[in-house]
Structures are given as C-alpha cells and as structure tokens.
Amino acid sequence: MSAGPSFLRKPARIHETTPEAGPVRCQNIAQFTQGAPWRLSDLHDRDTDLLIWITKGQGRANIGGVMRGYGSHNAIFVPAGTLFALELGPQVLGSVIEAPSGMFALSERRPEHIRSRDSLAQAELTAAIEAMMREIGRDRLYLRDALGAHLRLVSVWLRRQLAEGTADRPDESASQRLTRRFSEILVRDYRSDRVMADYAAALGVTPTHLTRTCRAAAGKTAAEMITERKLYEARVMLGRSEPPISGVAEALGFHSAAYFSRFVQSHTGQTPSSLRRRALGAGRP
C-alpha cells in the first residue's frame, strides 16, 4: 500500500545529524544524577564534556585533583577525561549540559570555572539552557540539529566570559601540580591493579609525599582518590545486567571476585549483587 505522495511524508529523523556525534543532553542536576548524588559527588571522569551551571547554593568542586569552592551563578566546564567531583548540598540547584567530546567550540581543552557576576550574562545562559530543555521536552523533528545550534550559542557565551576575564584561574602550587598529574594518571590507569605506591613511583615521589600532597590539594589522600574512582566505576557497571560480577571485578583490576565483593561491601554496606538488583529494579517502570 502506498505511503502517499513524498511531499506529504514526515521527514525521517535519522537524517537530523550524523549518528556518530551522539546526543546532547540538558537536564537539571536531580535528573542528571537520577536520584543518586554519587553520580556527581564522587570522583570520576567521563568520555563526554560537561557544563554545569549552578543557579543556587554553594559547595566545593574537585576539578583535576584540585579542590575549590563554587557558588551561585558559577559555570564549570569539565572536558572529557578530566577527574572531577561536585559536592551537592541540599540547597544546590542547577543544570547540566552533556555533549560528545569536542562539541563545545572552545580554543583550549581545559577545565574552566567561571564566576559570572553580570546579571545579563547570567540570564543569557539560563535562557539558552531553558530553550534546550524545551526542545528536548517537545521532541520535535531535527532535535539534534536544534540542540547543536543552542550548544554553539552556549559556546559563544563561554568564549565571551573567558575573554572578559571571569574565569577563576589561580596560579597552581607545587602540590596542586603534582595532584593534577596524579589525577591524569589515575584517569588512565584506575582499571589496573596499581596501588598508591605504584602511582607514587611513577611520579617520582614517595607514597608519604603523594599522600600529604593530595590531602592538601584535593582534600583526600591518594589512596582515597583511587578507591573512590574504582568504586564509582563499579557502581556504574553494576547498574547494568552485564558483565557478570566476576567480569566487573576483572575489569577493575581485582584479582578475585571475592576481594571485589569485600571492597564494595566495605564502602557501600551492600554486596555487588545487592547493588545490581537494586539498580536494575529502580530502572523498571
């Protein structure tokens, strides 16, 4: 049976953008964390870029291993592959734009912390985010193209803020430089069986020095940072039905599933199988 004249047919969504680019998402913080604050508050890195726009509240952010405070009308840009965490107090409100790596049109691929003081600039970014949320809510044709256009406007906003000097770029201390280097190696190797002493050796320092340095710069010891990154990934992987728990343990550098189970239970109070059942159950309608 004929589908009717071609000029009456609805255009196919598959032609909106190249599928390889991946989706652009824009959500409030509660939606982004899916009711699980650890998705932002625990140290981790992503393969996507994030722009976090805080509209209310204050707290601390760990960006690349360096702890800093944030407040209302702060924009935090986190490029893919950057170790970070965002403490979320009960009063914190904001939004998150997530995009495939490189879609934010910035000249430098580095973390940025913008403290916007101009009310017009604040309103501009808020309006752009609200427009993106409306597009997603209506789910019309050419959604990805529309979100890409809005993302380019957000990129212009970021570039203007950087040009106007609103980015917080304090000079790094020696301890902050070392912690940042450790964070970069941790992003690369957290799935291995390397322990803190191995990271210290790779950086040419003693374990004691690395521990003291990370505590000063990041508010956590190097061992705590390793644990937190592994635990984050364990939660993510256990939130899926595959691989089996033994496969999760192996993927994260544990030599036995039993040791992995003790690790998870000691830090969460639940076994891996319990975490998986709970996560998969929460995903059902």
Is 10 a residue whose pLDDT tops 50?
no
Q: What is the pTM of this model?
A: 0.88
Q: Strand runs (DSSP E) across the chain, as ranges?
A: 25-28, 48-56, 59-63, 66-70, 74-78, 84-86, 93-100, 112-115
Tokens of 36: 């699980």
Section 14-27 average pLDDT: 60
Residue whose tokens read 């913080």:
29
| pLDDT digit string, tens, across residues 174-220 | 999 999 999 999 999 999 999 999 999 999 999 999 999 999 999 99
| pLDDT digit string, tens, across residues 57-85 | 999 999 999 999 999 999 999 999 999 99
Q: Is 97 helix (H, G, I), strand (E, B) or coil?
A: strand
Section 139-162 average pLDDT: 96
Q: Spell out the residues 6+ positions from residue 114 whose beta carbon is closer than 8 angstroms to its own.
A: 74, 75, 76, 77, 158, 161, 162, 166, 167, 168
Looking at the chain, the whole-number percentage of residues with pLDDT higher than 90 is 87
Is 11 a residue whose pLDDT tops 60?
no
| pLDDT digit string, tens, across residues 218-239 | 999 999 999 999 999 999 999 9
Report d(CA 285, CA 280) in Å as an integer: 11
Q: Which of 5-19, 56-70, 72-86, 270-284 has the lowest mean pLDDT?
A: 5-19
Looking at the chain, the whole-number percentage of residues with pLDDT higher than 70 is 91
* Confidence tier at 13 by pLDDT (50, 70, 90): very low
**Listed residue (19, 42, 83) closest to 236, CA to CA:** 42
Where are the domains positioned within the chain? 20-163, 174-282
Q: In what order do the strands lie in the sheet with 66-70?
A: 66-70, 59-63, 84-86
Give the per-residue pLDDT at 90: 87
CATH architecture, range 174-282: Orthogonal Bundle (1.10)
| pLDDT digit string, tens, across residues 182-192 | 999 999 999 99
CATH of 20-163, one of 2.60.120.280, 2.130.10.10, 3.40.50.150, 3.40.190.10: 2.60.120.280
Upstream peptide bond of 243 is cis (omega within 30 degrees of 0):
yes
